[in-house]
Structure 1
Amino acid sequence: MVNIIWVGLFVVGFMFAAINGNMEQVNEAVFAGAKEAVTICIGLISILTFWLGMMRIAEMAGMLRAVGRVLQPFVRKLFPDIPKDHPAIGYIISNMSANLFGLGNAATPMGIKAMKELKELNNNKDEASRSMITLLAINTASITLIPTTVISLRIDYQSAAPTEIVMTTIMATACSTIGAILIDRYFYYRRLRKGCGDN
């Protein structure tokens, strides 16, 4: 569906450009955008490599284990359906830890592995389980302490104070995470009450 939307946007854009006689500007914008995208990606490699290295050092020093211990009670409350010491718990904690440090690229593989484990717990049904929905909501909202990717982009564009967004990011992502949890719980308990009512 998303692919269809993107294709539709491109087609409509090109049609309007052709009608208004702006095809030359569109072609320039396409090639300039492609060039800028490559430049941004190369710039992000350095900052991501640095923070992934820092994460590896933190893991070897036991800091991630400490973060995991802090997050464990919180995760157990959020995912009561998952058995204790199940591999999914470890992947969820790793995913949340990476997101805390703004490492979305590192968090994604852990989130995918967690989803695979949760699907197995759900007997490989096509319908998402409660825990799968909760993980998706939290991963999307994702409280972030250090927005490494955004800081890197601000450095690339010569921002006078690239790290000034840290506090704003913490506040915004904290609000989004709280909102995601509240909405997730609202619909869960609503569904529970509806199920009880049907019985």
Structure 2
Amino acid sequence: MTYLWGSMLLLGILYGGLTGNLQEVTEAVVSSAEEAVSLCIAMAGITAMWTGIMKIAENTGLVSQLAEKMRPVLKFLFPRLEPDSPAGHYISLNFLSNLFGISWASTSAGLSAMRELAVLEEKRKKEKTARGKGEQLRTPPAASREMCTFLIINVSSLQLIPVNIIACRAKYGSVNPTAVVGPAILATAVSTAVAVIFCKIMDHRKGDS
């Protein structure tokens, strides 16, 4: 990416110099930098607000109640994972954040979920070693089935309220920033359904391990 972006910037500057538009290139750089900073500040405020709302919901127990409702979903997607485990808690929090379109707020929960899933996989390997299957530890490190499923579902990310997109549309003067809600729900529902079907097909092919 460093070479790609560096080459694009260099080619733009060279082209502007050769065509006599170097002044326009300089003005575009300055205005774009100013707009980028303004956008970051606006998005930081929106993110802080929704992250705070999620934290309040978590402290009041609302997140725990919603996570409890997600137990059947977790059991379906992760049959080998206990919903009450730390990994299950973080996965629920991540799914809920994505569901309400607060993708930035879900990052910490997603990283924590991956960490807990890695710990769980390491524990399974130690148990296999104790049962006389030490050869399992000599294989290269690989993501577990739960980690792959979580990553795929997280990327597909069903969203009911695409907060970030609405914020960007409002920032740039959209007449109806929320017009994207319907298409976003449809698109993310289809992508999530495809992701779930794919994960289940792969689980079926691999069988229980």
Q: Same fold (TM over 0.5)?
A: yes
Which piece of structure 1 moves more, 146-155 or 46-55?
46-55
Which structure 1 residue ranges, 5 or more long, are not aligned? none
2:10 aligned to which of 11, 14, 21: 14
SS in 2 for 1:136: helix
Report the Cα distance in structure 2 between the residues aligned to 1:154 and 1:16, rounded to whole angstroms.
27
SS in 2 for 1:105: coil
Query: Larger radius of gyration, structure 1 or 2?
Result: 2
Give CA-to-partner distance per residue, 1:59-97, whole Å, 9 cap, x none.
Answer: 344332222122111011101122352110000000011
Report the Cα distance in structure 1 between the residues aligned to 2:32 and 2:3, rounded to whole angstroms.
17
Match of 1:167 in 2: 182
Match of 1:63 in 2: 62
Q: 1:61 to 1:45 in 2, by over 3 A?
A: same
Which piece of structure 1 moves more, 77-86 or 36-45?
77-86
Report the Cα distance in structure 2 between the residues aligned to 1:8 and 1:81, rounded to whole angstroms.
42
Q: 1:84 to 1:55 in 2, by over 3 A?
A: closer
Aligned positions, number? 190
Report the Cα distance in structure 1 between the residues aligned to 2:117 and 2:86, rounded to whole angstroms.
9
Which structure 2 residue ranges, 5 or more long, are not aligned? 124-139
Match runs of 1:123-142 below 5 Å: 123=122, 126-142=141-157
Q: Using the TM superposition, give the Cα deviation of residue 16 of structure 1 relative to its aligned residue in structure 2, in angstroms.
A: 6.3
Which piece of structure 1 moves more, 93-102 or 20-29?
20-29
Match of 1:190 in 2: 205
Match of 1:148 in 2: 163
Question: 2:173 matched to 1:158?
Answer: yes
Question: 2:191 matched to 1:176?
Answer: yes
Match of 2:33 in 1: 34
- Counterpart of 2:157, as a letter, is S
SS in 2 for 1:126: coil
Q: 2:95–2:154: 8 Å Cα contact kept in structure 1?
A: yes
Structure 1 length normalisation: TM-score? Answer: 0.84
Which piece of structure 1 moves more, 41-50 or 96-105?
41-50
SS in 1 for 2:159: coil
RMSD across aligned C-alpha pairs, in angstroms? 2.5
SS in 2 for 1:145: coil
Report the Cα distance in structure 1 between the residues aligned to 2:73 and 2:182, rounded to whole angstroms.
23
Which piece of structure 1 moves more, 27-36 or 46-55?
27-36
SS in 1 for 2:88: helix
Which piece of structure 1 moves more, 86-95 or 184-193?
184-193
Which piece of structure 1 moves more, 65-74 or 108-117?
65-74
Q: Using the TM superposition, give the Cα deviation of residue 15 of structure 1 relative to its aligned residue in structure 2, in angstroms.
A: 3.5
Percent sequence identity is 35
Q: 1:15 to 1:157 in 2, by over 3 A?
A: closer
